[in-house]
Chains A and B, each alone.
Chain A
Amino acid sequence: MTTTTPDLNKTAATKARRRRGGGVMGSTGLYIATGVAAFLFLVPFYVLLRNALTTDAAITGPSWEFFPTHVQWGNLKELFDDPQVDFAQSMWNSLIVGVSMTAGILLVCSLAGYALARIPYKHANKIFYVVLGTLMVPTSVTFVPSFVLVSSLGWVDTYRGLIIPGLFSGFTCFLFRQYFLGFPKELEEAARVDGLGYWGSYWRVVVPNSLNFFAAIATITFISAWNAFLWPLVIGQDPGAWTVQVVLSSYMTNQTVVFHTIFMATAISILPLVFVFLFLQRWLVQGIAQTGIKG
């Protein structure tokens, strides 16, 4: 009695699984395929860490060393002590640019998106078309004229030049407008009854109730600002103004190649974003689902 019941259950379960998922063979195949793909996706990270924590002799040696026998944490010190490249400065530049761009874009574009979605004004449609027009022209294609403008303002090699031209994103403004169109009107009306104007209700009611959306946009914006290369390359003529991406690029063209410092630098440059990934993945996924589909 007791033995037959689990047996029956098992067959029923197997049958159900076979009907749904192609049986044990199918699901094993599924895991093998996923495992192989995951392995291939992790190989570059493995190579990066291995090279960052070993010596040049081990990297260039005749046989592939799978993992450094003596982990070289001293590479970290060597990287930051390098007199030729001020790596710490470039990390600092990237941090300033990333944080200011994120804060600036959120502020400027959310206010504009709110106006377009919620404040009635007779020319609002015309202004919306002015914003929409910029969506057709990606900023990276217009880097030549932007550089001409920024250099005539004397902003080459400055934080201003790195940050300000990138703040006015028609696309982000558009995303905020779409989001605010769906924001519950009742909340704002309640704020209006309490005597708040547009400005007051925006800051006290709308923003505090939209933190998820703001976090999603912030995560995406920070990642793309940190990883940006073309504009920092154009603006950073002097090494002191280089972001970390420009420094990494300069390593690849240097005459003297010290593999372990270069890979250590790359690992350090990715680290902040790995943290963003680990702790903010929820918002990131949400942000991609929102920006990607609507883009």
Chain B
Amino acid sequence: MSTTTTRDLANPASVPAGPAKPRRGLRDSRTLNFWLFIGPFLIGLIVFVYVPIGWSLYLSFFDARFTVTPDKFVGFDNYTYMLTDPKFTGSLVTFTVFAVFIVPATWAVSLGLALLVNQIRFMRAFFRSVFFLPTACSYVAASLIWKMSLFSGVRFGLLNTVLGWFGVDSIAWLASPSPPWYWLVIVTLRLWLQSGFYMILFLAALQNIPGELYEAAAIDGAKRGWQTFRYITLPQLRATSTAVILLLLIAAYQAFDEFYNLLDKTTWGRPPLVELYATALGTSQDYGAGSAGAVILTLLIIVVTLFQGKIMGFGRGDESK
């Protein structure tokens, strides 16, 4: 009874004199709402992202074989062990070789597909879908098709069948590191699987190039084809190209699925993540060395990301400065 009267009294009064009180109330509700909206995410981020990183830093300074609560401090031993381990440094070499093949190849193929799809008029949606469809495949499914059929080392593999038509002997694609046929298998697989994705990015960029540029070039006497491509299309795609190349580099760095499945039980041709998997979750279960490896790889990728930020001007249009 008394509360209703107070409210009735307060209401008309607060309308003219208002600003102080409601604003205070609004500010409280802002803080509360902010935490209500972001709380679950932030807690999860700390527990499942920051805590593991911190724990791994901790483990990397201990002798942590078969345990995650070690008590023997070893300083930088795990780091020196990993960095002098030929298997780990070899995996960085493998990554480098892989990146040298796959990054330019995917860039060229996805750009080429985008140019083709962009120019044709007839059945354009069909062709775009065909090139894009492999993105639906997992690396595991693709590895299975590549290993068990296309590049199967036996006579009935598709590639060996085709070679057989020309009288060439069967090749054991994945069996040995020399000659390194396995690179052909790995590179074609990733090329098939990821080109459609980057083609979409290039298509979007191609459609953003103003048509007037081509008209102006035609008036200036530029020949269609190589000249307009070299002096208009390519420079206009520079931002997208840079982004694509760095995305490809980071994706190659994280390659695991196809190497793990295609080169099962080999000691060669292992990229960093496969090597890390073997160190930490293989028979030795060396979490200390595994964590040190994870820290090293993380530092390397941060350097790449910062480099990327410098090139692309990350956060330039971002008001959060």
Contact = CB atoms under 8 A, between A and B. Distances in A.
Interface of A: 19-22, 26, 30-31, 33-34, 37-38, 41-45, 47-48, 51, 59-62, 64, 108-109, 111-112, 114-116, 119-121, 124-125, 127-128, 130-131, 134-149, 151-152, 164-165, 167-168, 170, 173, 197-199, 202, 223, 226-227, 229-230, 233-234, 245, 248-249, 251-253, 257, 259, 262-263, 266, 269-270, 273-274, 276-277, 281, 285, 288-289, 292-293, 295
Given A38-B127, A149-B51, A269-B141, A230 B37 contact: no
The 5 closest A-B CB pairs, nearest first, are A145-B56, A112-B41, A227-B138, A115-B37, A145-B52
Given A31-B120, A144-B56, A164-B48, A38 B136 contact: no
Given A141-B273, A249-B260, A48 B145 contact: yes
B144 A142 contact: no
A281 B129 contact: yes
Given A141-B254, A198-B33, A146 B48 contact: yes
Nearest to B113: A37
B169 interface: no
A30 B119 contact: yes
Contacts, number: 277
Interface stretch (B12-20, B77-85, B87-95, B294-302): B294-302
A111 B200 contact: no
B130 interface: yes
B150 interface: yes
25 contacts: A19-B224, A37-B112, A41-B133, A44-B150, A45-B133, A59-B149, A62-B155, A112-B40, A115-B38, A119-B30, A127-B38, A135-B305, A144-B290, A168-B45, A168-B49, A227-B140, A229-B256, A230-B256, A248-B141, A257-B148, A262-B144, A269-B141, A277-B132, A292-B201, A295-B247
Contacts of B49: 134, 137, 139, 142, 168, 170
Contacts of A127: 38, 42
B294 A33 contact: no
A52 to B, nearest CB: 10
Contacts of B107: none
Interface string B278-294: 00110000010011011
B21 to A, nearest CB: 17
B134 interface: yes
A173 B41 contact: yes
Given A64-B156, A229-B256, 6 more contacts: A21-B224, A43-B158, A44-B142, A60-B156, A62-B155, A198-B33
B139 A227 contact: yes
Given A108-B40, A121-B30, A141-B301, A252 B48 contact: no
B181 interface: no
Interface in B150-177: 150, 154-156, 158, 161
Contact of A270 (B33, B41, B136, B298): B136
Contacts of B135: 223, 277
Given A112-B42, A140-B273, A292-B247, A270 B53 contact: no
Size category of the B interface is 35 or more
Nearest to A105: B41
The winner among A34, A45, A61 for most chain B CB atoms within 10 A is: A34
Given A112-B38, A130-B45, A245 B140 contact: yes
Which among A48, A125, A137 has the greatest number of chain B C-beta atoms within 10 A?
A137
Given A114-B37, A266-B141, A138 B45 contact: no
A270 B135 CA distance: 11
Nearest to B43: A168
Give the residue among B112, B156, B243, B273 with the most A Cβ atoms within 10 A: B156
Contacts of A38: 127, 130-131
A241 B55 CA distance: 26
